[in-house]
Amino acid sequence: MSNTRNNNIITRRSALKLLGLTTAALAAGGTSAMLESCTAHGPGKKKNNRIVLYFTGTGNSLYVAKSLAGDNIVSIPAALRDKRYNYEADEIGLVYPKYGPVPQIVQDFLAKARLKCNYFFALITYSHNLKPKDPANLLKVLEGKVKVDYLNGVHMVDNRLYKCDMAQNIKQSGSLNVDAAIAAIKKDIDKSKHYIVEPPTPEPSKGKDQGKKPHGKPEATAQTMFEITEACIGCGICVQVCPRGDYKVVDDVAVAQGPCERCLACAQNCPQLAITPVAGDVNPKARYRNPNVSLREIERSNCQSLIVSPI
């Protein structure tokens, strides 16, 4: 009985590791093709009417980007990896998640990007609410680089593992009417509407927040943000989904080291549930990825290394 069980474990370990290696190669090829299609404007090439730049950890922002521009989307982590910074189209959009200020990886990209368009729009996906500082932060980052014609938010599933029960949030996700909200925004953009959201000023807090601080200091690193448990089998999925390239596999175990983007892609996409936030994990058995986005798409968006290899 024990021998049979051990054989099953080995087979599963090998299969998952093979999955990590295979999807790495697919991710590398898919991203390059996507970027080429969005930036090629030479002889015989048709200029794209709309390009959407996006950053995603669990697929929410990627789903919004696809809903607005189909295949004409560009992953910001992949663009940074491939050093592709020049984009020109009639319309250029930006989609990213809110979890504090503008994500550092988005700021890094925008600092180098050259954007030429007639109409620029931006969407912030959020789980709780937008505050006045959220659009203000983005407008400051984009100041002098591109004129923002449209800026709005999309309320989506709260995927903060340290703050909520992911299983309950998934069950209640239908009440958010995400598709209707995206459709309304797409209608605005299709009409080149000019609009900058002005979120209401939040009321003063009536008590101290009893929850733990989710992210710590901005300089927090992956090894201080996450714990890798004994459930890890070294499949390498975390290597492919981390937009900062913080993960490596050493002796069949994942190792985290590097500046953390705080997107939760590693924890949410780990098939073994082996990565858990140090700040807390309300339901360690529940994880989330947007139901309209595949693991392969997340890997293709964020992959920073071409193969799973030891440090």
pLDDT digit string (tens) for 167-212? 999 999 888 999 999 999 999 999 999 999 998 876 665 554 444 4
* Cα dist from 227 to 89, 161, 222, 255, 280, whole Å: 43, 13, 9, 10, 10
Q: Determine the pLDDT at residue 174.
A: 86
* Amino acid letter, residue 48: N
How far apart are the C-alpha atoms of 213 and 31, rounded to whole Å?
34
* Cα dist from 139 to 29, 136, 145, 148, 268, whole Å: 34, 5, 10, 7, 30
Contact 302, 58 (CB under 8 A): no
Q: Determine the pLDDT at residue 103.
A: 95
Q: Determine the pLDDT at residue 90.
A: 98
Q: Determine the pLDDT at residue 29.
A: 45
Q: Determine the pLDDT at residue 14.
A: 55
Residues of the chain with pLDDT under 50: 1-10, 22-46, 208-218, 307-311
Contact 255, 246 (CB under 8 A): no
